[in-house]
Amino acid sequence: MKSVSSLCLSLLFVLTSCTHTPTKVPGHAEVDRPIPYKPERTPAADELDWWAATSQQVQDANCRLKFPVTTAEIDGYYKKLPLEPGYEAGTTEVFGIKLENERPHLVLALSKLLYPTREGVKIEGAPENFQTKYNVNPSCKKALCAAQAIFGKEVGPQMLFIMDKFDVNTSPFSFMNADLFTASEIADVIRTFELIPTQQLPFKSNQQLIKFKRGYTRASYGDDGDLVLANAVMELFDGWSKKSSLVRQYTLFHEFAHNYANSQFADYDRSATWLTLSNWKESKAGEFTIEKKKLLQGHPFVSKYGETNPFEDFAESVTSYRLNPALLQAKSPDKYNLVKLMVFDGVEFTSQKSCKKSSLSSQYQKQIDRDGGALSAQNKGQIKEACQRTFYQTVLGHVPVSFFEACVNYEATQLWLANNAPKYPELVPQALFDGKLRISNLKFAKLKKELTQVLAPEATDWILDSAKSYTHEMTSDMTNAEYCEAWAKLEDRVYPGSGAKSSWRQKGIFVSTDYTPHAGAARGLCLDLVRGFTPTSKSSTSAIKKWLKETFYIKTEAPLVERGVNRESLLKYIVDRTGY
């Protein structure tokens, strides 16, 4: 059998590195330094067999979205876009450039394009002050024309649109070894996004997608460097630039397909389920080969390139599903169904009509919004026990309120799945939640509110009861700061429900394992109450004044007997902070 390396040498249309490329940005060690790009080799006659779809199929792909591509179209798009709620006129400065009355999301998008993504890294060619170098003001005071002045008339607005719409960063000022896209290149980037369902983006915040330094490739690709068009960390090389518009779109979509496996499903392309579908076997050295069972199961690959390794097999299968679905259906119905449920949430692209159907998760969500998930009282009791400590941590543990919501959604999803598996035969658990991050795609808003209404008074009584142990240290002649210092001793108390079983907490990444309150959080809670606090749920001046009056707002640090700390004010505080 040919080695993976020898296979690479025979290809012209290599889409990525022939080794699995991680999603994180590669380091800049000697082996991975940029090296001069070599002229393209002459292709062999049989090399065109490696595509999973033709250029015509890319062009005629069903259900293409329509995004603005030209500068005039992008300018028109933003002129017609309504102002978002909370918009306020004013002046904002971004790296020396003053923007007046600009949309906040465009200010943020421009800022990301001008700032290195790695803290402390100096990007070659990036100025200290963009206003000084590009003289944007005073003639321009909007983000779109600022992007034009810095990146070019037919490139800057496109980069700003991609950053704003998809949270994808194409800037040479944000990443090492990046060059500016040309107008035709950046247009093909936008056209590729037309093939991706908008709900699937972004793959991650401030996602890299760059034109690699022109005339160079990665040293780690060795003699194959001139064959690599792009890679899964979204670096596009000179070989990509030389291809036609449709080949560029195919290649870039293929790279996005890698990210479906890596970003959304924690390396699903090396899972036992995926490896079994094509009989991939991994050696102790980490290399993959295909067991010869094709006589029994047929040939389950959509392209020769998909036979390179399971990672390219996954990316090519996803690409075929989107651009040439009939091929994947014929080659491997099992792969087709897996991609359908795991990647595209039940949406198909076999016709213009098929992709207009609601995704499976949206159908499930509508049902949950109607009936709250139809969870039993026992189910709700289990979820309450599992998430009780997390709720207390949001009040006394420097833990975001979103963690409690995430816990409720994840625990409820597990029970909802168990209750509804017979009802929904196409239900795939992995498509609804990330088992590693403990994040569910389903939202149980009614349940979260219901549990908060139960837990808020419980937490109020527990805090006050615990604080009673230290009342002998609280005297009327104390300042507020001294008074609240006694509350810091709540750190000696153990949260109720700490021993309860919780699938969300077990091995979760974004989970606090604290069993006791934080002294600083308890002290801060007390100070908020005795000094008065601005509720997050209130916005108008009259509402805030009314709220402050209701919560015994104290304007002085002078010694006071009445501190405003009682069950009513504490319950209002917890209700406001936990958001129901």
- Digit-by-digit pLDDT tens for the chain (580 residues) are 333 333 332 333 334 433 333 333 333 334 456 767 655 543 333 333 678 999 999 999 999 999 999 999 999 999 999 988 767 778 889 999 999 999 999 999 999 999 999 877 889 889 989 999 999 999 999 999 999 999 999 999 999 999 999 999 999 999 999 999 999 999 999 999 999 988 787 777 899 999 999 999 999 888 887 889 999 999 999 999 999 999 999 999 999 999 888 755 557 788 888 888 888 887 777 777 776 554 345 578 999 899 889 999 999 999 999 999 999 999 999 999 889 988 898 899 999 999 988 888 888 999 999 999 999 999 999 999 989 998 999 899 878 888 899 889 989 998 998 898 888 877 777 667 766 667 788 999 999 999 999 999 999 999 988 888 887 787 777 888 888 888 899 999 998 876 666 665 555 545 667 789 999 988 888 888 887 665 554 434 444 445 444 443 334 333 333 466 778 888 888 888 887 5
The 10 Å Cβ neighbour count of residue 412 is 28
What one-character DSSP code corresponds to residue 53?
Answer: S
The dihedral formed by the CA atoms of 94, 97, 98 and 99, expressed in degrees to the nearest 10: -70
| Alpha helical stretches, state H, 204-359 | 238-241, 245-259, 272-277, 294-297, 310-323, 325-331, 333-342
Q: Indicate the burial class of 535 (C-beta count within 10 angstroms; 0-12, 13-18, 19 or more).
A: middle
Q: Which two tokens stand for residue 427?
A: 């239900």
pLDDT reported for residue 265: 54
CB 465, CB 488: distance < 8 Å: no
pLDDT reported for residue 263: 57
pLDDT reported for residue 441: 82
Residue reference for tokens 């805090």: 463
The dihedral formed by the CA atoms of 443, 446, 451 and 452, expressed in degrees to the nearest 10: 90
**Is 312 in a helix, a strand, or coil?**
helix
pLDDT reported for residue 552: 39
CA 387 to chain centre: 24
Contacts of 231 (CB under 8 A, 6+ apart): 16, 17, 21, 218, 255
Residue 456 CB-half CA count within 13 A: 21
CA–CA separation, 483 and 336 (whole Å): 65
Give kind and range of the element (H or E) at residue 222. none
pLDDT reported for residue 569: 83
The 10 Å Cβ neighbour count of residue 144 is 20
**Is 289 in a helix, a strand, or coil?**
strand
The 10 Å Cβ neighbour count of residue 187 is 18
Read off the amino acid at residue 14: V
pLDDT reported for residue 542: 47
Q: Which two tokens stand for residue 452?
A: 């908060």
Read off the amino acid at residue 197: P
